Amino acid sequence: MTAAANNRSRAIAPGAWLGLLGGGQLGRMFTMAAQSMGYKVMVLDPGTDSPAGTVADRHLQAEYTDADALAEMAKRCAAATTEFENVPAESLQRLSEGCIVSPAAHSVAIAQDRIREKLFLDEHGFGVAPFAVIRSEADLAAAGIDGLLPGVLKVSRFGYDGKGQVRVGSRGELKAAFQSLQSEPCVLEKFLALDKEVSVVVCRGFDDEVTTFPVSENQHADGILDVSIVPARVPDEIAANARSRAIKLAQQLDYRGVLCVEYFVVDDGSLLVNEIAPRPHNSGHYSIDACVTSQFEQQVRVMCSLPLGDTSLLCPAVMLNLLGDLWAQQTPPWDRVLQHRTAKLHLYGKSTPRPGRKMGHVTVLSEQADAALGTALEIKSTLVAARAESPLQPV
């Protein structure tokens, strides 16, 4: 047993160094949460001006597989984590030889590969949409494929925010889509009529303590999360089922850390797991302003073997994503956003806006979820109108 494993039951006190693989906005919010609790954060990321790297106490500018950088992080940091699922699982394994790591490499390895993820969920009895594994063109001719059409072909690795996904309605479209995805291994999922999409952020510590955040109702545009409404507007039994199944999934994965479970709510009210994300999630950003403990503070608590924080919702909230599409020749009119006294603006420090790029978010608080949604949509309308007045120039 490694020294890191022996120390998992010992709380890591403020003042210690924490390591983070990844420099994006999730890492930025984790870094800020950790620093507010008195920790120092070392970020490993190849970017020169990454959102997390610019606020970290130290930025190691190197690839995620860089042996020297990983060795330095393992030596200096008491614990380490990741902010995105596509970090090589081997890097997490290497770090675990010198410091505490959450989530563990074996958990991330499942979540970062759609084929492994779907097979794991299906094998362990977690309902998923009907699917087939497509590894070669020969698989396209398999019996039963017609029963999955119309469907969605999703590349097994490195797909996110609608990227690496193609809607298909026939075998001909399926073959063309597979070729357009460079014939990479894929999952074909049957397209289902959905009532809603919801998600649950679940947190599990090394001592097996587990808690969940309130269920979020998610609406997407072009495959990217647009708004999250909390609490989700679903019957209590569906919300309870979503939280219970998320806990069972974390336990089945032997997961230690913050995990998001995304569900489809189909017309009959049943829940199907869409995918899992081994990290804090966009749909959990509301927790920064609307919960006693945020998902990022909870991430710190898990890796430092501290008691999990209270996840109670202080008031209903709606999170609105701010994409690069809203930027134009000038900065969006944030004064119009902040004239709403219950709107909380979060910008990620990204210097270059691009269509579809997540640049920030706004969380609107209210006594009623529908009222918060109305204000969030009003803010979105204001920003879209301002964008139309000054079109974004090509970068």
pLDDT in tens, 221-252: 988 999 999 999 999 999 999 999 999 999 99
| Per-residue confidence (pLDDT) for residue 9, from 0 to 100 | 64
| Per-residue confidence (pLDDT) for residue 27, from 0 to 100 | 98
Q: What is the mean pLDDT of residues 307-332?
A: 94
Q: Which residues pair with 22 in a beta bridge?
A: none
Q: Which pLDDT band, with edges at 50, 70 and 90, does 3 fall under?
A: very low
- State the virtual CA torsion across 166, 395, 352, 225 in degrees, nearest 10: -20
Q: Which residues pair with 266 in a beta bridge?
A: 194
CATH number reported for the structural domain that contains residue 374 in this entry: 3.30.470.20
| Per-residue confidence (pLDDT) for residue 153, from 0 to 100 | 95
Residue with tokens 């006190």: 13
The DSSP code for 222 is T
Q: Are residues 145 and 212 in the same domain?
A: no
Q: Are residues 160 and 230 in the same domain?
A: no
Q: Within a domain: residue 107?
A: no
| Per-residue confidence (pLDDT) for residue 92, from 0 to 100 | 94
Q: Within a domain: residue 304?
A: yes
Last-in-domain residue among 161, 190, 219: 190
3-state SS assignment for residue 209: coil
Helices (H), 79-153: 89-96, 105-111, 114-123
Distance CA 150, CA 169 (A): 4
**Angle at Cα 82 formed by Cα 218 and Cα 204, nearest 5°?**
70
Q: Which pLDDT band, with edges at 50, 70 and 90, does 391 fall under?
A: low
Q: Are residues 148 and 206 in the same domain?
A: no
Q: What is the mean pLDDT of residues 192-217?
A: 96
Q: Are residues 384 and 268 in the same domain?
A: yes
Is-contact 326 387, C-beta < 8 A?
Answer: yes
Q: Within a domain: residue 112?
A: no
Q: Are residues 349 and 221 in the same domain?
A: yes
CATH number reported for the structural domain that contains residue 51 in this entry: 3.40.50.20
Q: Are residues 185 and 326 in the same domain?
A: no
Q: Are residues 154 and 289 in the same domain?
A: no
Count of other CB atoms within 10 angstroms of residue 352:
10
Q: Within a domain: residue 157?
A: yes
**Number of domains, the chain:** 3
Q: What is the mean pLDDT of residues 91-119?
A: 94
Q: Are residues 253 and 171 in the same domain?
A: no
Distance CA 179, CA 148 (A): 18
Is-contact 130 167, C-beta < 8 A?
Answer: no
Could you tell me which residue, 192 or 394, shows the higher pLDDT? 192
Q: Are residues 170 and 209 in the same domain?
A: no
Q: Within a domain: residue 29?
A: yes
Kindly state the greatest CA–CA separation across the chain.
62
Q: Within a domain: residue 251?
A: yes
Q: Are residues 246 and 384 in the same domain?
A: yes
Is-contact 345 299, C-beta < 8 A?
Answer: no
Both structure tokens of 256:
């230690």
| Per-residue confidence (pLDDT) for residue 4, from 0 to 100 | 47
Q: Are residues 177 and 200 in the same domain?
A: no
- Among 3-12, 319-328, 371-380, the minimum mean pLDDT is found in 3-12
Note the pLDDT tens digit of each residue in 266-304.
Answer: 988 899 999 999 999 999 999 999 999 999 999 999 999
| Per-residue confidence (pLDDT) for residue 329, from 0 to 100 | 73
| Per-residue confidence (pLDDT) for residue 50, from 0 to 100 | 94
CATH number reported for the structural domain that contains residue 174 in this entry: 3.30.1490.20
Distance CA 38, CA 296 (A): 14
Is-contact 256 102, C-beta < 8 A?
Answer: yes
Round the average pLDDT of the chain to a whole number and report it. 93
Q: Are residues 225 and 345 in the same domain?
A: yes
Is-contact 243 200, C-beta < 8 A?
Answer: yes
Could you tell me which residue, 162 or 340, shows the higher pLDDT? 340
Specify the length of the chain in residues. 395
| Per-residue confidence (pLDDT) for residue 25, from 0 to 100 | 97
Last-in-domain residue among 190, 207, 234: 190
Distance CA 103, CA 82 (A): 8
Q: Within a domain: residue 206?
A: yes
Q: Within a domain: residue 114?
A: no
Residue 305 domain boundaries = 194-389
Last-in-domain residue among 173, 190, 207: 190
| Per-residue confidence (pLDDT) for residue 328, from 0 to 100 | 72
